Amino acid sequence: MSAAAMPSSFKKRLVSQSNLLELGERLRKSGKKIVFTAGSWDLMHVGQTRYLEEAKKLGDILVVGVVADRAIAKVKGPNKPVLGEKIRAEVVGALRAVDFVTIVPEPSCAPSLGMLKPDVHVTVKEDWTSDWKDSVENRVVKSYGGKILVVDRQSTTISTSKILARAIGGGLSEVLKDFMQYRKDPLKE
């Protein structure tokens, strides 16, 4: 998707990684409490929108990191994400709870946290977040005096994987699983 195709209102909300430091400084000078969260945000669903609404309640400004395509593929395999990072970022940026969006280039959002220095870093309670106190993200947030909040999933019955399984169909998803391993690129506009 070209920059020209992006709505101008979204362009104002999309912040490059190189501008996170300046954004954080500007918001803190104006007395704003900054909240940050990050994720893949692939195939947005009600659980994700509820989660972002809850995160927004924790401060004045919500900055959301959208993990880059390559970083997601590194962690979740070549079939993820389904949608490209710019599309995912624009969808997240259209939500009323979200003030700014940045594309996070690595699986870890620690560098983004170090630049933005949000007052609160919010993450969702999952099996992989059980050791969050030992994480590099926690060390970064503690280093500048911020805090991490681990919140419950906002929908226990909906996930991107469940949406895909239902869309493809129960038995067919198993048949296509082997075929899908050969698809390397997410859908792009």
Contacts of 160 (CB under 8 A, 6+ apart): 40, 42, 43, 45, 82
Q: pLDDT value at position 189?
A: 53
Please tell me the predicted confidence (pLDDT) of residue 43: 81
Residue 35 lies in a domain: yes
Q: By residue range, what is the domain housing residue 70?
A: 3-180
Distance between CA atoms of residues 38 and 121, nearest Å: 9
Please report, for the domain that includes residue 35, its CATH number. 3.40.50.620
Question: Is 188 part of any domain?
Answer: no
- Please state the domain count of the chain: 1
Contact residues for 139 (Cβ-Cβ < 8 A; gap 6+) = 110
Residue 45 falls inside a structural domain:
yes
Spatial contact of 33 and 119, defined as CB atoms under 8 Å apart: yes
Q: What is the pLDDT of residue 134?
A: 81
Let me know if residue 101 belongs to a domain.
yes
Is there a domain that residue 51 lies in? yes
Per-residue pLDDT tens digits of the chain, which is 189 residues long: 555 566 667 788 999 999 999 999 999 999 999 999 999 998 888 888 999 999 999 999 999 999 999 999 998 888 889 899 999 999 999 999 999 999 999 999 999 999 999 999 999 876 556 677 788 999 999 999 999 998 876 566 655 665 555 555 655 556 556 655 555 566 555
Please, what's the b/e burial string for 15-30 (b: 16 or more CB within 10 A of its CB; e: otherwise)?
bebeebeebbeebbee
Instruction: Give the tens place of pLDDT for each residue, 56-76.
Output: 999 999 999 999 999 999 988
In a domain, 173, yes or no: yes
Question: Alpha-carbon distance 114 to 126, whole Å?
Answer: 23
Residue 63 located in a structural domain:
yes
Q: Is residue 146 in some structural domain?
A: yes
Distance CA(33)–CA(118), nearest Å, equals 8
E-only strand ranges, the chain:
34-39, 61-67, 100-104, 120-124, 147-151
